[in-house]
Amino acid sequence: MTSLKGKVVLITGAGRGIGRACALRAAEEGADLIITDIGDSINSVPYQLSTHDQLETTAERCKELGSSVLMQLADVCEMNDILALVEAAVNRFGRIDAAVNNAGIGAPAGKATHLYTSEEWEILLNVNLSGPWRLIKAVAPIMIEQQYGSIINVASTAGLLGYKHFAGYVASKHGLVGLTKSAALDYAPQNIRVNAICPGPVYDDERLDGHMTKVVADSLGLRLGDQESIDLESVALNTVVSPLDVADAMVWLASDQSQRVTGTTITVDAGYSAK
């Protein structure tokens, strides 16, 4: 416990799922938090994104765990939103020790590469790749001044492997892994570490308002139960990943226990990518 005591952690996409799990685990480990999510819809994304109420639920649960929490809506596609978020964080806490790029979308998907519209392709890259770059651009000057920081990008096994009918998502997550490696080299002289977590199939935990397994099922025209069975059969350990498993990896990367780790990916996939 308290491996993040005294640290300030910023988490995007914290309204539900992996983002909420990361916020709760960071709070349990003693961190103060800046949490954000979009709280709105995007026209070309075919499912409901996280709401203001879901982000507020995350904030309240973290406060119950003893964390001081700054909650602010922000769209990772808007540089002004990200700059305002980081400015508010520094005004409130004076520093940012770790930044978790978790915000992302899993669809539009479910089609061959040439069938994506330009709008569909561009929103996947804008949220999943350019969004993390925007946060890095905003927090890097703070961390350079501190001469310390940990940036954690939540990628996917889709950043390591190909998935049929998910070319936009796969391209964005491969790009995020590449961004991780290059940024790690850029900021190593300032003692800023940059790493990626690559989750495999993650189940939709109702306690966390998880939604991504359903997004995948809907994209492929499958029943949720059928997609869950496919996910279970695809992993070596015969158990799909909990969002809290991903959050545990995040806590380690945000802590001083991983101070010699940078430019790498941690795969949390129950053996999916070993096959």
Quick one: pLDDT at residue 2? 59
Residue pLDDT, tens place only, 187-244: 999 999 999 999 999 988 888 989 778 888 788 898 888 787 887 888 889 888 999 9
Is 241 inside any structural domain? yes
| Closest to 127 in 3D by CA, of 175, 181, 191 | 175
Residue pLDDT, tens place only, 243-272: 999 999 999 999 999 999 999 999 999 999
* HSE, side-chain direction, 13 A CA sphere, residue 100: 33
Quick one: pLDDT at residue 8? 98
Q: Which CATH number do you get for residue 17?
A: 3.40.50.720
Is 174 inside any structural domain? yes
Percent of the chain with pLDDT over 90: 85
Considering the candidates 116, 163, 169, 203, report the single residue annotated as catalytic.
Answer: 169
73 DSSP assignment: -
Supply the range of the domain harboring residue 149.
8-265
Is 273 inside any structural domain? no
Is 179 inside any structural domain? yes
Q: Is 272 a residue of the active site?
A: no
Residue pLDDT, tens place only, 18-37: 999 999 999 999 999 999 99
Q: Which two tokens stand for residue 260?
A: 């010699």
Residue pLDDT, tens place only, 153-193: 999 999 999 999 999 999 999 999 999 999 999 999 999 99
Contact 92, 70 (CB under 8 A): yes
Is 199 inside any structural domain? yes
Region label for 252, one of left (φ > 0), alpha (ψ between -120 and 50) or beta (otherwise): alpha
Quick one: pLDDT at residue 213? 82
Is 260 inside any structural domain? yes
Is 41 inside any structural domain? yes
Number of domains in the chain: 1
Is 275 inside any structural domain? no
